[in-house]
Amino acid sequence: MTEALANSPGTEPAAPLHLAVALDGAGWHPAAWREPDARPADLFGAAYWADLVREAEHGLLDFATLEDSLGFQSDHPQHADDRTDRVRGRLDAVLIAARIGPLTDRIGLVPTIVTTLTEPFHLAKAIATLDYTSTGRAGVRAQVSLRPADLALFGRREAPDVDFLTGPPERLRAVLEDAFDETADYIEVLRRLWDSWEDDAEIRDAATGRFVDRDKLHYIDFEGRWFDVKGPSITPRPPQGQPLVTALVHQETGHRLLARSADVGFVTPHSTGEARTIVAGIRAAQEAAGTAARPLHVFGDLVVFLDATEAAARDRRDRLDAAAGAPYTSDAEIFAGTAAQLADLLLERRTAGLSGFRLRPAALPHDLLGITRALVPELQRRGAFRTAYEAGTLRGHLGLERPANRYAHL
């Protein structure tokens, strides 16, 4: 039905889908590391991550996100656990991305950072550096963490006095709004620091002995509740001007963060109707924030089990569930089926206003290969996905212009 509508006379052809992949450990299913083709011994080596991202680039995906945290992974949403049958431990996502940058050519690299426990000045410098090492393909996924176990590792702030599973809704909403407001300020500091060097601030004139035009470096003078940052950055303006800023949100309280701060928002609808409601909520938040004219992509997240038949995909999920000792659950919808079935689902969900999807492979490399070697060709046959990269930067892949420097007119 979607294809017929897209090709009917007098109807504008739908824009091609955007696709990203979310890479985490051996895959998003907790038992994925026990699969025959898994590489658990390589999880803490650069080659493993380089192989995965190069495969994603082979599939012409817009970008890959790299999961990260500042505490151990846990089956419990708020507390650490003592399980030893799960992947535990991580490499730093920003450093992985920096290593992969020179080993890839076109795909965007979007590491996760925890805004709650890091400093925006350091992160602005790190992501600007990534944009240089990847020649304009850097982004960042901003993540809030209020888990008591994570906060205790730093000892710099107290955990909110509320249980996120059973606490009063009014208190939960207030805590989340506070956390998202802090993250919005964090991102504003990032953006100002990226702009604190004008594009032509570096003169590099050996004859006159002038390397930098100091008048084109700017104090950002940010003063807020959480941050007081004078600037400027010590890293010149990144190649993209502004690397891509993304965030995952689950509730209405996160819509304001996306409206104020993000270039791409990840959401987790479980139906087309729910996707339509979420997109409408985000667009309403943009109107309220005065940012309706600013492009904001909304991507739907899905966990995927991909096989040649639906029965094979479901059987594999059941086998992994048995190995894990419990059925796998997720904040995102879990899909188990064929590439053609997934293509049908994505094209249907696109009608709700989603411009792309971030797919979470249940097991690596199996489901990543299902995306790049089966789903992508299926979408290409339907005219719904690119057949070659057309841009050299991550912003270019998403049709986002290189923004003007806010300080250049001063």
What is the CATH classification number for the domain harbouring 255?
3.20.20.30
Residue 353 in any domain: the answer is yes
pLDDT at 44 over 60: yes
Residue 404 in any domain: the answer is no
Residue 41 in any domain: the answer is yes
- As for how many domains the chain has, the answer is 1
Q: Which of the four pLDDT bands, split at 50, 70 and 90, describes residue 135?
A: very high
pLDDT at 60 over 80: yes
Q: What does residue 355 show for φ and ψ, rounded to 5 degrees?
A: -100, -10
- Sign for the CA dihedral angle at 67, 68, 72, 77 comes to negative
pLDDT at 346: 98
Q: Which of 260, 340, 351 minimizes the C-alpha distance to 308?
A: 340
pLDDT at 214 over 60: yes
CA distance 388 to 146: 41
pLDDT at 3 over 80: no
Mean pLDDT, to the nearest integer, of 340-361?
98
Residue 408 in any domain: the answer is no
Q: Hey, what amino acid is at 215?
A: D
Residue 282 in any domain: the answer is no
Q: Which of the four pLDDT bands, split at 50, 70 and 90, describes residue 1?
A: very low
Strands 356-361, 18-23: parallel, antiparallel or unpaired by DSSP? parallel
Tens digit of each residue's pLDDT (9 = 90 or more) over 252-311 = 889 999 999 999 999 999 999 999 999 999 999 999 999 999 999 999 999 999 999 999
Average pLDDT, the chain: 93
pLDDT at 402 over 50: yes
Q: Is the peptide bond before 365 cis (omega within 30 degrees of 0)?
A: yes
Residue 13 in any domain: the answer is no
Residue 39 in any domain: the answer is yes
Please state the length of the chain.
410
Q: Are 385 and 347 in contact (CB under 8 A)?
A: no
Q: Hey, what amino acid is at 313?
A: A
Tens digit of each residue's pLDDT (9 = 90 or more) over 164-189 = 667 788 887 888 899 999 999 999 99
Residues 6+ away with beta carbon under 8 Å from 305: 313, 314, 316, 317, 334, 335, 336, 337, 362, 363, 367
The C-alpha angle 362, 363, 364, rounded to 5 degrees, equals 130
Tens digit of each residue's pLDDT (9 = 90 or more) over 72-97 = 888 877 777 889 899 999 999 999 99
Known binding-site residues equal 68, 112
Tens digit of each residue's pLDDT (9 = 90 or more) over 230-269 = 999 999 999 999 999 999 999 888 999 999 999 999 999 9
Residue 230 in any domain: the answer is yes
DSSP codes of every residue in 98-118: HHHGGG-SS-EEEEEEETTSS
pLDDT at 71: 84
- Find the domain containing 342 and state its range: 2-7+18-277+289-397
pLDDT at 117: 87
Lowest mean pLDDT among 122-136, 143-157, 173-187: 143-157
Mean pLDDT, to the nearest integer, of 201-230?
94
Q: Which of the four pLDDT bands, split at 50, 70 and 90, describes residue 13?
A: low
pLDDT at 38 over 50: yes
pLDDT at 164: 66
Terminal-to-terminal C-alpha distance of the chain: 53
Known binding-site residues for FMN equal 68, 112
Mean pLDDT, to the nearest integer, of 135-162?
85
